Amino acid sequence: MKHNISITMDQKLFRELENIRGREKRSTFIEHLIILGLKTYINKKEEFEVKPRKAPVAVLSPMNFSETKH
């Protein structure tokens, strides 16, 4: 099922969109661009995310030299 939305955009952006899309339907072309943008966004986001570790990491407190046993 598709949803109908309305957007506003800068006139220069609209003209550029119109020049690029050629004979393609405007809504189809904009949907295509949104899909490309979302894929790029997700890929970039995954590059910078910290991956969860398989095992938990224990944080150890620093030891003083007087606490070490020989």
Interval 18-45: pLDDT, tens: 999 999 999 999 999 999 999 999 998 8
pLDDT at 6 (0 to 100): 95
Q: Is position 27 within any domain? A: yes
Q: Is position 67 within any domain? A: no
In percent, the amount of the chain with pLDDT more than 70 equals: 71
Q: Is position 10 within any domain? A: yes
Q: Is position 70 within any domain? A: no
Q: Is position 26 within any domain? A: yes
Q: Are 29 and 21 in contact (CB under 8 A)?
A: yes
Rounded to two decimals, the pTM is: 0.62
* Residue given tokens 């894929």 in the structure block: 39
- What is the total count of domains within the chain? 1
Cα–Cα distances in angstroms (integers) from residue 13 to residues 19, 30, 59, 61, in the given order? 10, 12, 51, 56
Range of the domain at 15: 1-50
